[in-house]
A and B are shown apart, each in its own frame.
Chain A
Amino acid sequence: MNKRGRGGKFAAGVAAVLFIGVVMGSMLMTQWPAGELADTDNFQLGVTMFNTYGIAVLMVSFVLFVALIGGVFIAQEEEEK
């Protein structure tokens, strides 16, 4: 952005307008199937989460644990010697 400055920002703005135009156009032209906005059954949500997708939740917990350790490892203060 140093060399490109305002030209780069202008190009990004044009690209953003084009992108939102394409997204909105395709979304409004699509015939979505009829659906009803319904309240989520929280009990059923828990059952689905831990019964059907229990393995996925376990794997996500592992990923979170590794990210925790990695974040602490990267951000730790080095000891002065």
Chain B
Amino acid sequence: MNGRTHKLLALVAIWAALLLAPYWMPPLGGYTALGTRVLVLGLAAMSVNFLLGFTGVLSFGHAAYFGLGAYGAGFALKFLAPSTPLSLLCGMLLGGIAGALLGALIVRRRGVYFAMVTIAFGQVFYYIAFQWSSVTGGDDGLRGFSRQPLDFGLFSIDILSDTNAFYYFVLVCFALITGVMAFILRSPFGRTMIAIRENERRARFLGIPVERHIWIAFTLSCFFMGFAGALYALLNNFADPRGLHYSQSGDFVMMAVMGGMRTFWGPLLGAAVFVVLQDYLSSITVNWMSFVGALFVAVVLFFPRGLLGFIRRKSEA
């Protein structure tokens, strides 16, 4: 069996598992909303990894754009119009445009300095959301909105009370965004991102304006992040300032690294492990994070390419 059939089989397996999740999860002790959470946080981790794994740029403040996406969706539903697609659009735009503006200020920084500046900007948004209670609801978060049925004219789909319907709605959104990501990564532009990751000096002397390309990749990743955040607000019917906090950014980076940041699907696996462990352990102990942390340390020490990177290597060997 060659690499291409391997890849195709893996892809079929991933999509089959995702499509059938509402049927295989409950018998294994899960529930559909948990699957939805994996998809949404997985999409966010994949957006972080679009930058981290494929451009080689570590942002430690990506939760800011995730949280902005959530608030954008919440504001749209609360103040603009009761429309789910509109709320997703608003969330994506808010996250993406904020990313584009801030990204322009920070793309000249590298490594630790880049990570620090992204944290700082992220925390600015966190404190705005936290302090500006009259608009954002402050510490209590933004409440008083809920996702709306999808109206197709002839029929409508109730994604509010039907958790399976909402799962499939999120899955369609997830497929759309990951499809766009995969498409970009296979394009000439995507290959310049990988060139920057592999060797910035060589990329520059191949004629790539490195800062501009990093800015574009950063902005795209913030649009994806904003979209994931908007889905998160729809999932919870609630936008939380903690969704903007740098510890949330850290969780996304952790999911990406744990799953395998050099792989496209790794962050989704990382998110699944993270979310399922959190769900299971937090019902047993309030110190669930120490167990997730221990697992993270073990993965980094023993599978430096992440879980999926390890699985892929095994299957190729």
- A and B found bound together: no
